Structure formats: structure tokens, C-alpha cells
Chains A and B, each alone.
Chain A
Amino acid sequence: MRGKSAALRHAREVFVPLATIAVLFAAWEAACRFFAIPAYLVPAPSAIWVDTGKLAGPVFHHTVATTVTVLLGFLASFVISLPLAILLTTSPTIAGVIYPLLVLTQSIPKVALAPILVVILGANELPRIVVTFLVAFFPLVLSVAAGLVAVPPELIELGRSCRASRWKEIWRIRLPYAVPFVFSGLKAAITLSVVGAVVAEFVNADRGLGYLIVTSTAFFQVPVAWGALIILSLMGIVLFQIVVIVERVFFPWSLSSDRPGAS
């Protein structure tokens, strides 16, 4: 009984969004044809498909380039946010120093920063990764830090009674407890990484989907720009789902309903 209803629910989870998207595209196509909207304003899905398909090879390379930037920026966010959050929560003094700096990095417009980073770091992949990181890491730091301090006092007391060192308390109690928080931060970070990578590519790139959007609109290949946009959305969805699956497979307990922060 339960297995069957679970399968049904899964089918519905997949089917309903897919059906919604299909209906949306159909309506879009119909509207474009019915109102004869010119392709340089809003192209029909069929036109997007055909025009983007003609450039399948280059589009594929652009997609790979963007994916690499997204993943490296995301990785940088993860690797830097974790220790940063630990630092923030262990010492009020350090927190007092770092917090204003963090807020500062968030108040700087990344689009304005990108060209300056190119001057400093050179016209290569690095400034793009830095921009992606700057866009993506902030919510991750905040949610990891929130998880580290949300540990119930009983568990901290348990650690103390077992003479746990500061480091072991973080590693064996605080971090495991924070896992659901880490994942909700990672879900925000992966989505923002896509945004960050495209912003970086707008400013400084010779490839990537952001670059493709800029160049194809400049050359009035509007359907190709739309194609890139759709690929970017798909990339966001797929990467987000990968994070969800990793959490389900490796940290199943983090999803149990009686924990805070579980999604």
C-alpha cells in the first residue's frame, strides 16, 4: 500500500511540473503564431529550437564553459564558507572583524566589480570564478553559521561531559547538527552560482552562455539568446536537483521531520 502510494506521489512530483511546462510552451507557441509576434521581439519555441539547433556544436561548448565556471565558483563558495562560518561562530572578536567585511562584499555591485577584477587578475577564468563566488557564498555562510549555533545546549553539555575539545565539539557535534542548514545554504548557493557565472560572462568572456546571450542579441540572433536562456534555466534546475539528491543519499537523517532546518 505504502509503496504504491509513494510511487504515485513520485510520479506526480515529476509529471505535474513537466506537464505545466509543456502547457506553458504550447501556449507560448500558439500566442506567437496567433498574434504574429516578430521573432526579434519574442521568438516562438519552435524558432528557438531550430536556430539554437543550427549552432548545436558551439552552443554545447558555451554550455560546458559556463558549467565549469558555475561549478568552480560553487566549489569555492563551499570550501571558503565552511571555515568562515566556523570562525564566525567560535570567536566574537573574529566575528566582529569579519561580519562588516562580509556585508561589504555583498553591498558591492558585482557587475561593476567584474571589470576591475579583470584588471587585477587578468582576462582569464579566475575573475569569473571570483565573481561567481562573491554572488553565491553569502547565504551559505549565513545558514552554516545559523546551523552551528542552533545546536541544542544538551548536546553541547554532552560533549563537555565527555571532555570534548573545541575542535571535536565542532567536528562531531556542531557540524553534523548543521548538515540540514548546510544543505539549505548549498541549494541557495548553487542557484546563485549560475547567476554569478552569467554576470561574470557578460563582462569578461570569450565563451559561455552569458557571452552567447550578449553576442547573439548584438547580432540580432534573438532566438539563440532565448535558447541560451532556456539552457541556463535547465542547468540551474539540474544542479539544484543534484544537491537535493546528494542530501537524500548521503544524509538521509537530515531530512527526518523532527529536525529544524530540514527541508
Chain B
Amino acid sequence: MIAIEGVGKTFQSRDGDAVEALRGVSLQIRRNEFVCLVGPSGCGKSTLLRLVGGLTLPSSGRVSIDGTTVAEPRSDTGFVFQAATLLPWATILDNVLFPARMMGVLTGAHVERARELLTMVGLAGFEGKHPRELSGGMQQRAGICRALVNDPDILLMDEPFGALDALTREELTLELMRIAAERPKTILFVTHSIPEAVLLADRVVVMSPRPGRIAEIIDIDLPRPRDFDMEARHEFQDATRRIRDLIFGSRARRAA
């Protein structure tokens, strides 16, 4: 469904230097597949996500969704950013409804759906509150509801749990798996946590830096539904070890 074909991206900095963030990246993502992107900082994960989302355009190659080249953000794509980025002056409900309002499609059904989503993530009763009255984890949940309010086919998540504590993180990971099971979506998910990637993904894309490329793609054969008990399984352990080796090199692991 998502086709990334020979994509390169070079940024021109103000002082004339060129930063090659991505080179020759090719990746096919099937409908309703859950793909995680991992890799060291600066290897172009966010850039790749933004290319798929139409927030930036590739310098070379092509990104297409169902055969259509992505040239601008699409209405069937939802974003979850690393920070919750809620509008501080709007209520939680209005924040969740924001994409529908921006696209001019807001209906009563959206309001109903927004309330359902908020209830699902445990934010019932907070509809009328403002973001500053919520904890970081609650704000991030609201951000996830916002990405889901238009019921997008594609969900792009850039380290959505990065700023959260371990407990909230596990809770939201489970929630995300439940959402993905309930209403299947194509999800591209960036994370720094290897166990999180293995637990969530059908396939983990490991990237390497300077310039950003795909180092390897690893299939995760764990059955669904998944939970944290699976971390004990040998498939899980093998996959995490493999990814760790790819990122840090096997020598670094032995030294540790």
C-alpha cells in the first residue's frame, strides 16, 4: 500500500552545507501492516516518516500510497508527534476534533467518535479540561485520539511514547495494540526502544546513519494478540539481540 522507492533526501543548511539524511531507501508496506523504525539518533527516521506523511518531499525517488505519489499531507493519514503538541487554548475535546475541523469535515459523528476514543484511553470526564490540567501521559493519549478521530487508514507515529515514564509507556503500548486490532490500520512507528519495536511490529526496519539507509528488515513471528509476557520467548529474545547487534555491532555488545 505504501511504496517507498529509492528515496533520498538532502537538506540544504543555511551556510550552504548539504546534509544527506536519507539515501536509496526502498520499502514496501502492506495494508494493515505494523512497521517499526529503529536506528541510532540522526539516521533519518523522522525524515522518512515525514516523507510518507507528505510533510516534506524527497530529493530523489518516490513515495506513493496506493499508486498515488505523496505530494502533500493526505486526509487518510494520521500523525502522532513525539510531544503531544496540543493547542493550549483549546479543550481536550476540541484538540481531538482539530483535524476534522481543519479539514472541514466536522460532524456530530466526529464528536461522538472523539468521546468514544477519549473514553477508550481513560480520559472520559476530561473533555472540557485544558491541556495544562493533564499530565504528560494524558496529553499524549489525547494526541493519539486526535490522530484517530478521522479514522485514518495510515497512522504515522514518531516516538509517541518517548517522553513518557516506563509504566505509562507499557500501558499505552498495550492500548495501541488493542486499537490496531480493533480497527486495523497501516502503522509506521518510530521508536528508540528495541523491545517496544519487537513487541509491536510485524516487521522492524533497522536503519543506519550517515547517510540514513535501511540496514536490515526483520520479520517478527510472534503470534497476536501480544503482551509483555512474550518478552520471555526465544523468538522475542532472538529478534531483540539481532537488532541490537545491527545497531551497536556485535563487538559493542560483547564488551558490555
Interface residues of A (CB under 8 A from B): 154-155, 157-164, 168, 172-173, 176-177, 179, 251, 253-254, 256, 258-259
**B87 and A155 contact, CB distance less than 8 A:** yes
Q: Which residues of B contact A251 (CB under 8 A)?
A: 89
Task: Classify the secondary structure of B's interface with A.
Answer: loop
Report how far A251 CA is from B73 CA in the complex, Å: 32
Contact with A along B43-57 (1 / 0, CB 8 A): 000000000010100
Residues 91-138 of B contacting A (Cβ, < 8 Å)? 98-99, 101-103, 130, 132
Contact assessment for B75 and A259 in the assembled complex, using a CB-CB cutoff below 8 Å: no
Q: Within 8 Å CB of B132, what residues of A?
A: 253, 256, 258
Contact A256–B88 (Cβ < 8 Å): yes
Q: What A residues does B55 contact at CB under 8 A?
A: 157, 160-161
Interface residues on B, range: 20 to 34
**Chain A interface, >50% SS class:** helix
Binds A, one of B10-18, B77-85, B175-183: B77-85
- Which chain A positions have C-beta within 8 A of B99? 161-162
Please give, as numbers and ranges, the residues of chain B lying within 8 Å of A172 by CB-CB distance. Answer: 98, 101-102
Smallest CB-CB separation from A258: which chain B residue?
A: B132
- A-B pairs with beta carbons under 8 Å apart, 5 shown: A157-B85, A158-B81, A172-B98, A172-B101, A253-B130
Residues of A within 8 A of B72 (CB): 163
Q: Could you tell me if B81 and A154 are in contact, using CB atoms closer than 8 angstroms?
A: yes
Known contacts A256-B132, A258-B132; A159 and B102 CB within 8 A of each other: yes
- Given A161-B53, A163-B73, A258-B132, does the pair A176, B89 have CB atoms closer than 8 Å? yes
CB within 8 Å of A: which residues of B?
53, 55, 72-75, 77, 79, 81, 83, 85, 87-90, 98-99, 101-103, 130, 132
- Per a CB cutoff under 8 Å, which of B88, B89, B103, B130 touches A162? B103
How many A-B pairs fall under 8 Å by CB?
A: 53
Asked whether A162 lies within 8 Å of B98 as measured between CB atoms, the reply is: yes
Residues on B with C-beta less than 8 A from A155 are: 85, 87
Can you add 5 more A-B contacts, CB < 8 Å, to A154-B81, A154-B83, A160-B73?
A: A154-B85, A155-B85, A161-B79, A176-B87, A253-B88
- B-side contacts of A162, CB under 8 Å: 73, 98-99, 102-103
In whole angstroms, how far apart are the Cα atoms of A258 and B133 in the complex? 13
Ranked 4 nearest A-B pairs via Cβ: A162-B102, A162-B99, A164-B102, A161-B79
For B73, what are the chain A residues with a Cβ–Cβ distance below 8 Å?
160-163
The answer to whether A163 touches B102 (Cβ under 8 A) is yes
CA distance A2 to B89 in the complex (A): 25
Collect the chain B residues with CB atoms within 8 Å of residue A258's CB: 132
Q: Determine if A179 and B83 form an interchain contact, defined as CB atoms under 8 angstroms apart.
A: no
Residues of chain B lying within 8 A (CB to CB) of residue A173? 87
Chain B residues near A158 (CB, 8 Å)? 79, 81, 85, 98
Closest A residue, CB atoms, query B83: A154
Distance to closest chain B CB from A257 (angstroms): 10
